[in-house]
A and B are shown apart, each in its own frame.
Chain A
Amino acid sequence: MGYRAKFRVWRGNANTGALTSYEVDVNEGEVVLDVIHRIQATEAPDLAVRWNCKAGKCGSCSAEVNGIPKLMCMTRMNTFNPEDVVTVSPMRAFPVIRDLVTDVSYNYKKAQEVPVFEGPKDLAPGEYRMQQEDVARSQEFRKCIECFLCQNTCHVIRDHEENKKVFSGPRFLMRIAELDMHPLDTTDRKHMAQDDHGLGYCNITKCCTEVCPEHIKITDNALIPMKERVVDVKYDPVRWLGSTIKRRTS
């Protein structure tokens, strides 16, 4: 079953780098990360790669395989032909540290800027009551393993470094949607989504959804519904009027 595969792995740092060729043994059932580890154990002991669980659960091993953002531990070798050259490069939206390891601190910064869950003040621990149908939407988003592949592939920042200041990326816009749909969250998140986190930059081209290893429907279930919620409070004169009258009368 085994064969020798041709690999090109990007090696380098923030200043310089290039794709380096390797020929490596591949056994049945292996994934790209196994092959990278074999290169490390045999030819290049200092090949830098980030990983942790090797089970698709932690979101550490994000990289690009043949140009497509992927988890290396979940990319099976049998998805390639034995004669194909497999190219592995670091995520291209973030600064590279070394080889396949990138600096993803942008994401942690954005995470810090999303105001956290704020429950009702009058409920003590143990008194929370929520129905399954009310938590299901947010639960989908909480499947996120923070691999940041969606952030990496989103052209808003991948192709436009300057947008990193104003755009939090699909992962964190989805986080805002998660909280806005949380049945017990008490903060209004709609203006914040548009004004502070750049929801308007998203042109719903769905690349985030395409690469999400958790198969979360980021665009359809989080970003577009959030855009609709923003329209409710910002761009829909009828609803705006309605809610203003309601507020006046109550």
Chain B
Amino acid sequence: MKNGMLSAGRARISERTLRTDKWWLQPFVTFAVLISFVIYSTFRAFENANYYTTPLLSPFYSPCLAVSCVPGSSDLGQPIGSWFMLSPAFLILFIPLGFRMTCYYYRRSYYRSFWLSPPACGVGEPHSKYTGETRAPLILQNAHRYFFYLGLLLNFVLTYDVILAFRNENYEWGHLSVGTLVLFVNASLLWLYSLSCHSCRHALGGRLKHFSKNPVRYKLWTWTSKLNAKHPMYAWISLLWVAFTDFYVRSVSTGFFTNFYIF
């Protein structure tokens, strides 16, 4: 073992861990879920089809900014010309990707489950050197707040998508389908995820030295701190729901099932 646990002077215990519980379960499940998501979302980003079915737009493609976007899907116009040959998903996917990659909670999860640094508490890691987030590329994690701001913009767009989904296939207003609800839940979860973010907590009030001099920001901070305690939960649910939302849109679009209208 090249691990530091056997450095001079420390108790001579050769096991990497003496834990007897199922410590490997959590990193294993995390790994499995994240990998599945990556595979599915990569497939969908490349697929470049079945992402819009009136009035539902998949969150993977929203906003759809390229000329190649299917008709009706571009709420914000098509500023990107035909020179862009790839799937329009790639124009915006870097935002949620960067947001989640630099998220403090996801960092914890993938450092543990992918990089095994450490795999679980009190379990020796397989690396002989470790510098953490002190140098490139991991020092870039400090850009998280910028992704947070970009993510907020996306949230507005996705909320706009929910409003647009109060239409039927003929673009008539005043209708509500299961798809509307799916989009609505999706946007809500993403808002919860963003507003519970550590960078948000810091910006709203965390950076202050004196709460008492800023009562409004203190209120906001108290409120976001409550959400923050549930950030891991929002991180997981919103991730799964985004995938489900996309899957729903795709299924409706391919005719796998129909979007049922409540009214």
**In the complex, which residues of chain A have a beta carbon less than 8 angstroms from the beta carbon of B108?**
203-206, 219
CA distance A228 to B121 in the complex (A): 24
Interface centre among B107, B138, B198 (most CB of A within 10 A): B198
The count of residues in chain B whose C-beta lies closer than 8 Å to any C-beta of chain A is 53
Is A228 touching B218 in the complex (CB atoms < 8 A)?
no
Residues of A within 8 A of B20 (CB): 66-67, 84, 87
User: In the bound complex, what is the Cα–Cα distance between A89 and B11 (angstroms)?
Assistant: 9
Any chain A CB within 8 A of the CB of B5?
yes
Bound Cα distance from A232 to B209, whole angstroms: 14
Interface size class of chain A, counting residues whose CB lies under 8 Å from the partner chain: 35 or more
A49 to chain B, nearest CB (A): 14
Q: Is the interface of B mostly helix, strand, loop or mixed?
A: loop
CB-contact partner of B125 in A19, A155, A219, A236, under 8 A: A155
B-side contacts of A38, CB under 8 Å: none
Q: Is B3 an interface residue (CB 8 A)?
A: yes
CA distance A119 to B104 in the complex (A): 33
CA separation between A210 and B23, bound complex, in Å?
13
The contact sample of 27 A-B pairs, CB cut-off 8 A, is A12-B12, A16-B12, A66-B20, A66-B21, A69-B121, A92-B11, A92-B122, A96-B11, A133-B218, A134-B210, A155-B117, A155-B130, A159-B3, A159-B118, A159-B127, A160-B4, A160-B130, A163-B130, A200-B134, A203-B111, A205-B108, A207-B121, A211-B122, A224-B104, A225-B201, A228-B206, A228-B207
Interface residues of A (CB under 8 A from B): 10, 12, 14-19, 64, 66-69, 84, 87, 89-90, 92-96, 102-103, 131, 133-134, 153, 155-163, 181, 183, 198, 200-207, 210-211, 219-220, 224-225, 227-232, 234-236
Which A-B residue pairs are the 7 nearest by beta carbons? A95-B9, A67-B18, A67-B19, A207-B121, A200-B134, A201-B132, A228-B202
